[in-house]
Amino acid sequence: MTTTKTTYGQILILIGIIVAFFVSIQLLGVSFSYLGKDIISTINLATANPYIGLFIGLLTTAILQSSSTTTSLAVAAVASGSLTLPNAIPIVMGANIGTTLTSTIVSMSYITKAAEFKKALSAGVSHDIFNILVALILFPLEIKYGFLTQLSQQMTSLISVNQSGKGLTTYLFGLSFISSLLEKLVGLIGPFVSVVLAIILLFGTVKAISSILYTKMVGETQDQFKMVVFNNTFRSFGWGILLTSIIQSSSLTTSLIVPLVATNKVKLKRAFQFVLGANLGTTITALLAAIFKSESAISLAFAHFLFNAIGVLLFLAIPYLSSIPTFLAKKLGSLTLRYRIAGFAYIIIIFFLLPFTLIYFSTKKNALTVKNPQIELAEDKKQ
């Protein structure tokens, strides 16, 4: 009887957290809509350079350790009109890379165990390498041809999109007064404070959902987990999608495989197939955040899905390509086993130093161009 009450209590808590997640998305949208035109112009100007957008997404996610939070933020900004779809897509691409930091850090915890360290790091960085390779393929296509922008807009045009501007909470919970309450809240505390409050609420709810579901679904059954999940390619990939869709954290699910590979209980190949599934599963958050929002918001959610789906098709379906991420991961594992500093250098450069440096120089270049319009004119003539 006590167990049943506890279960019901946990279900009610989970439902409450999910409601809070949607309220945080709604609050973000309302807050962004109250920001002045100058602020919105600044946001779009900062992200107009796709390289800055990419590294903002990477850096933000590396710090927050939640691509779900970053992509949900981007969806809310696009839904409110504060951010354009083409400017938001590079941010989502960067978020996909930034979320891989967790599994890499987990793998570094094996640095004192020489027998397990190489395998652990190979498992951790296979997630990084996959997303970096996909970005190297799709990012230039997006810059040059608007590949993901056009494809996601075409997908959105195939479905019926609600244009009333009402949030998901209105439809699911019948709480039509929530929007007006949130508007009053924003008017009371100001849009800047409400944006910060919404981000904290969004981050907290995503982490809480991940933690509760992880504990219930995986934490109590880790032995059964490795026996059931990694039997073959289909199971590894399918369970990666399923678990990450439910837990809503690819950082958690991909970190799960690191100790399994390190202790030789799971082969790197099977672990990588699980990672590919996890990349698809994590896109569900953006799709949920975009429901009943604007066409652009739904297009961004589709762009996030397409980025991962195309990557999976390339690196799972094509035999030669599928071996590249694991090959590079093993090479980095061997290098780091020989020179321990290499692993730390990799993390610092890829996730922090490179984004900071490129954002700094790109911003500086933009500032110089604004101050000296002749520079921009000269560059246009050269082209």
Q: Is the pLDDT of residue 94 over 90?
A: yes
Question: In the prediction, which pLDDT does 276 show?
Answer: 92
Q: Give residue 168's pLDDT band: very low, low, confident or very high (50, 70, 90).
A: very low
- Would you say residue 130 has pLDDT above 80? yes
Compute CA distances 206 → 102, 227, 257, whole Å. 16, 28, 21
Is 298 exposed, middle or buried (CB count within 10 Å of its CB: 0-12, 13-18, 19+)?
buried
Which range has the worst mean pLDDT, 130-134, 213-217, 270-274, 342-346?
A: 213-217
Judged by phi (left if over 0) then psi (alpha if -120 to 50, else beta), residue 372 lies in beta
* pLDDT in the model for residue 310: 95
Q: Which of 130, 143, 37, 140 is nearest to 80 (CA)?
A: 37
Among 97-106, 127-136, 223-232, 371-380, the least confident range? 371-380
- pLDDT value, residue 125: 93
- Confidence label for 29 from pLDDT (cuts 50, 70 and 90): confident
More confident residue, 212 or 372: 212
Please, which pLDDT band fits residue 112 given cuts at 50, 70 and 90? confident
**What is the tens place of the pLDDT at every residue in 361-372?**
766 665 555 455
Confirm whether 180 is domain-assigned.
no
Q: Mean per-residue pLDDT for 79-102?
A: 90
Mapped onto helix, strand or coil, the DSSP state of residue 254 is: helix
Lowest-confidence segment of 5-14, 26-35, 160-169, 278-287 by average pLDDT? 160-169
Q: Is residue 189 part of a domain?
A: no
In a domain, 2, yes or no: no
191 belongs to a structural domain: no
What is residue 218's predicted lDDT score, i.e. its pLDDT?
54
Whole-angstrom distance, CA of residue 180 vs CA of residue 82: 20
Q: For 41-45, 128-132, 250-254, 304-308, which range has the lowest pLDDT when averaged over its residues?
A: 41-45
State the pLDDT at residue 306. Answer: 96
Average pLDDT for 92-108: 89
Q: What is the pLDDT of residue 148?
A: 96
Q: How many domains does the chain have?
A: 1
Q: How many CB atoms lie within 10 A of CB 360?
A: 12
| 150 within some domain | yes
Task: Give the pLDDT band (50/70/90) at residue 224.
Answer: low
- Where does the pLDDT of residue 220 fall: very low under 50, low under 70, confident under 90, or very high at 90 and above? low
Query: Looking at residue 199, what is its pLDDT?
Result: 83
> 170 lies in a domain?
no
User: Is residue 169 predicted with pLDDT exceeding 60?
Assistant: no
State which residues form the domain around 249.
Answer: 37-157+222-372
382, with CB counted inside 10 A (0-12, 13-18, 19+), is exposed
**pLDDT number for residue 381:** 45
Range with the lowest mean pLDDT among 48-52, 102-106, 183-187, 223-227? 223-227
Instruction: Say what the pLDDT of residue 9 is.
Output: 74
Could you tell me if residue 48 is inside a domain?
yes
pLDDT tens digits, residue range 307-339? 999 999 998 888 788 889 999 999 998 898 888
**pLDDT of res. 277:** 93
Reduced DSSP (H G I as helix, E B as strand, rest coil) percent helix, strand, coil of the chain, to 5: 85, 0, 15
What value does the mean pLDDT take over residues 83-96?
93
- The reply to whether 251 falls in a domain is yes
